[in-house]
Chain A
Amino acid sequence: MSLTTKTRGLRAIGAACVAVLIAAALPANAQEAPDAMVKRVSQDVIATIKADPLVQAGNEARIREVIEAKLVPNFDFPRMTALAMGKNWRAASPEQQKRLADEFKTLLVRTYSGALTKYRDEAIDYKPLRMSPADTDVTVRTLVMKSGGQPIQIDYSLTKAADGWKVFDVVIGGVSLVTNYRDEFNEQMKNGGVDGLIKTLSDRNKGVAAK
């Protein structure tokens, strides 16, 4: 057996393995319960940031990469943005809606990266989920135990999509992210319309300080 055929053979086996893995992962993902998804993703992110030396050294760009890879695919940013915009969402063109969702996503990823740099081994208690099979919107409740501090309740609102459950709101100690942005977005809309809001969001993402 020549070296090339050997390599080819290995490649074929590799490709077959990947195909099997994808085939195995797809139906599992589609059936994965929302609370199981939240738990799997949270544990995955925590394990990754704990094991990554760059993250441990406080490299925010690397933390952002981890979030982009592991968290972002599980979020429904257009729906989040639409909810935060309220009736203003319909005033935006499809192109503006896309830009808004992109900028909002970046802002939330930046915020979340900043928060994750402060993560210190807090234990997370995943509350049992009550849902019926017909539900398309559910809330997964978790309690984050801070050592030497008060536990913080973090709830995730999820919606059922074709490729699994997607988070569309995070409620921290009773404070909904989406609701919190509603007034902010309204205010920006009043001052500069949809384009004004896009500009404010992109300025913030470029590091321009808030008012």
Chain B
Amino acid sequence: MKTMPRLIAATALALLAGCAATPSKVDPLEPMNRALYKVHDVLDTNIVKPVAEGYATVVPQFMRTGFANVFNNIDDLFSAVNGLLQGKPEKAGNDLGRVLINTFFGMGGLIDIASDAGIERGNEDFGQTFAVWGIPQGPYLFIPLFGPTTVRDGAGVIVRIAVGPVGYINDVALRNSIYGVGYVDLRSQVLESGSIVDTAALDRYIFIRNAYLQRRRYLIYDGKPPPEPEDE
């Protein structure tokens, strides 16, 4: 299981390619991205999706929810950090409160009692922080086995992986198992969305690209994006 280093290498490569292009259009690298999307589709259809489906069938819901909650709890900590980096102390405090509640009263994050208590997740990440800092989005990218991203969001993910905490685990087997379970669990959560895209999309590549970019814009503006300029 050496997916992560490979993913990072692939992302870095794509980043380099991305920087060489003119960022005038949202997706100047469309030919390359479409080729990568095809690679992804083959790998996903034949390997990742069946594994995720198997995982969802074999592992009971409460365990999957538990795993997801632990990963989310770590994400919430980074959401708090990013809230601070974006100058949103209130949001950061909210996320930190979630982490404290779920870690100490939710069995180390296994149970998301903060959500049950109505404390919503902040959903901040490094990609959004870069956006708030005024760093341009850069070209859209599609990375096999990782999915849709942009140069800015990809850089955010690299920072996130670099600052850990899983990267600091010295036991290689354990570290890779955590990455593996986290990856399969994440994929299993979007099995339903995948089948909806299959029905809804005329061109899945474009459908996924638009949905991703809209979603990111929504997150950057904390759920209140200004109306998009009509591009004729």
Point out residues on A near B: beta carbons under 8 Å. 86-87, 107-108, 110-111, 114-115, 118, 148-151, 153, 173-176, 179-185, 187-188, 200-201, 204, 209-211
Point out residues on B near A: beta carbons under 8 Å. 61-62, 64-65, 68, 72, 115, 120-121, 189, 192, 195-196, 198-207, 209-211, 214-215, 217-219, 223, 225, 228, 230, 232
- CB A119 to nearest CB in B, in angstroms, measures 10
A residues within 8 A CB of B207? 180, 184, 210
Q: Which 8 A-B pairs give the minimum distances between C-beta atoms?
A: A174-B218, A148-B65, A111-B200, A175-B214, A180-B210, A184-B202, A111-B199, A175-B211
B223 touches A153 (CB 8 A): yes
Of A118, A176, A184, the residue contacting B203 (CB under 8 A) is: A184
A184 touches B201 (CB 8 A): yes
A residues within 8 A CB of B209? 183
9 extra interface residue pairs, beta carbon distance < 8 Å, beyond A179-B214, A184-B206, A184-B210? A86-B232, A114-B196, A148-B61, A148-B62, A148-B65, A174-B218, A176-B214, A181-B202, A187-B206
A residues within 8 A CB of B202? 181, 184-185, 187-188, 200-201, 204, 210-211
Of A107, A175, A200, A204, the residue contacting B218 (CB under 8 A) is: A175
- CB B80 to nearest CB in A, in angstroms, measures 17
The total of Cβ contacts below 8 Å across the A-B interface reads: 83
> Chain A residue with minimal CB distance to B232?
A87
B residues within 8 A CB of A179? 210, 214, 228
- CB B76 to nearest CB in A, in angstroms, measures 11
Q: List 11 A-B contacts (CB under 8 A).
A: A111-B200, A149-B68, A150-B72, A150-B115, A173-B215, A174-B223, A174-B225, A182-B210, A184-B207, A187-B202, A210-B201
A176 to B68, CA, bound (A): 27
B residues within 8 A CB of A200? 202
- CB B30 to nearest CB in A, in angstroms, measures 10
A187 to B201, CA, bound (A): 12
A209 to B62, CA, bound (A): 34
- CB A39 to nearest CB in B, in angstroms, measures 20
Contact of A210 with B211 at beta-carbon distance under 8 Å, contacts A111-B196, A149-B189 already known: no
A181 to B232, CA, bound (A): 15
- CB B192 to nearest CB in A, in angstroms, measures 5
B residues within 8 A CB of A111? 196, 199-200
A140 to B61, CA, bound (A): 32
A112 to B208, CA, bound (A): 17
A residues within 8 A CB of B68? 148-149
> Chain A residue with minimal CB distance to B27?
A183
> Chain A residue with minimal CB distance to B201?
A210
Contact of A211 with B205 at beta-carbon distance under 8 Å, contacts A86-B230, A176-B214 already known: yes
B residues within 8 A CB of A153? 223
Contact of A118 with B198 at beta-carbon distance under 8 Å, contacts A174-B225, A179-B214 already known: no
> Chain A residue with minimal CB distance to B203?
A211
- CB B131 to nearest CB in A, in angstroms, measures 14
A70 to B204, CA, bound (A): 29
A180 to B199, CA, bound (A): 14
A182 to B230, CA, bound (A): 11
> Chain A residue with minimal CB distance to B220?
A174
B residues within 8 A CB of A115? 192, 196
> Chain B residue with minimal CB distance to A201?
B202
Contact of A114 with B228 at beta-carbon distance under 8 Å, contacts A175-B218, A188-B202, A211-B203 already known: no
- CB B184 to nearest CB in A, in angstroms, measures 16
- CB A40 to nearest CB in B, in angstroms, measures 25
Contact of A107 with B120 at beta-carbon distance under 8 Å, contacts A86-B232, A184-B206 already known: no
A209 to B204, CA, bound (A): 10
Of B61, B62, B195, the residue contacting A114 (CB under 8 A) is: B195
